[in-house]
Copies of this chain bind each other. A is one copy, B any other.
Amino acid sequence: ATFNLLLLPGDGIGVETMVEVERIIDFFNRSGRATFNTQSDLVGGAAYDAHGVAITDAAMDKAQKADAVIFGSVGGPKWADVPYAVRPEAGLLRLRKDLGLFANLRPAICYPALADASSLKRELVEGLDIMIVRELTGGVYFCEPKEIVTLENGEKRAIDTQIYTTSEIERIAKAAFDLARKRGNKVHSAEKHNVMRTGVLWKEVVTEVHRSYAPDVQLEHILADNCAMQLVRNPKQFDVIVTDNLFGDVLSDEAAMATGSLGMLPSASLGAVDAATGKRKALYEPVHGSAPDIAGKGLANPIATIASFGMALRYSCDMGAEADLLDQAIAGVLAAGYRTGDIMQSGMKQVGTAEMGGAILDELKKL
């Protein structure tokens, strides 16, 4: 099969880690398992510097036509003062919104070799495997009014709005329950129904959707603040967590850090399946950010971006077997002791971005 990929390395370490993804793509192309046609474009600060916007219409057009977008990272101190509408993050937000990528899948997995790297005690994270399903096209991220106005008394007044409708909650709930069926059959739905009306509706709709999945999939409602606690207290109690855009942002970062494997974690952002073509829009990106402090130095861990390509194989290319191979290759280099600075442990072999990418490639060739 042939797949069209759009690579958007973005800013900071995204640029370096994407190079390693290209080597992996190249390997799959030459192995004859599939044909990946790749295009690249700018996003974030890089797009702003070149075009004055965080992503051009032309790049958006390529993204619309691609089978999958592989995204690096955006932002950095260089663009701290650019206007709000064209700040680096606006490129990513436009991609999510315009491609309709409502389901953000964020695995929080503890790689066994890295259990000791977690801040949490080893027994709490060893074997940890959570999937956070974050709503990605609604909520406070996108709803209007969203503005700052100057009042008559000279003060400013800022407003953000969170709106959720029944159907928006339904589709993300279904995504979560479907995933849970293929995993541990347990979903926690996190919201603040005790103070937010969107939380009340969230709880109500998730409960309703659950009826079609009961009794084999279990549902528990949890307040978002309690969820933040429980992710520290005992993260292994979770299988799938479904939550809104803003809570998902905070809770998934917390969970990712708890695993000790932050630099390793990929994510997938998926749209609805088109009834006519059977396809869906998708974007894959590492959970980590642009890490301006180490950018351009060849030190970044490319695993999260490579694993994001792995998720693309699985979710956009129906190449689950190849995705497994890639996961095995990553596990292999870790077992062999290769570590970038972010996951360095004593007695291991510290390598840079290119060496880590190369090691994974070598491992792949052996499989």
Chain A interfacial positions (CB closer than 8 Å to B): 75, 84, 87, 89, 93, 119-121, 124, 140-141, 143, 146-148, 151, 155-167, 192, 194-198, 200-202, 204-205, 224-226, 228-234, 246-247, 249-254, 256-258, 262, 289
Contacts and interface: CB of A to CB of B under 8 A. Distances in A.
Taken together, the copies of this chain in the complex come to: 2
B247 A232 contact: no
B156 A165 contact: yes
Contact of A192 (B195, B249, B254, B257): B249
Nearest to A156: B166
A191 to B, nearest CB: 10
A197 B250 contact: no
Could you tell me the dominant secondary structure of chain A's interface residues? helix
A163 B230 CA distance: 29
Nearest to A248: B225
Contacts of A89: 194-195
A68 B205 CA distance: 41
Nearest to A125: B119
A195 B54 CA distance: 14
A234 B140 contact: no
Nearest to A196: B160
Give 10 closest A-B pairs by Cβ, nearest first: A158-B201, A229-B257, A228-B254, A155-B166, A225-B253, A158-B198, A158-B197, A232-B257, A89-B194, A160-B162
Contacts of A147: 197
A162 B162 contact: yes
Given A155-B166, A158-B164, A167-B155, A148 B249 contact: no
A251 B164 CA distance: 23
A236 to B, nearest CB: 11
A209 to B, nearest CB: 14
A246 B247 CA distance: 10
Nearest to A227: B250
A79 to B, nearest CB: 11
Nearest to A162: B160
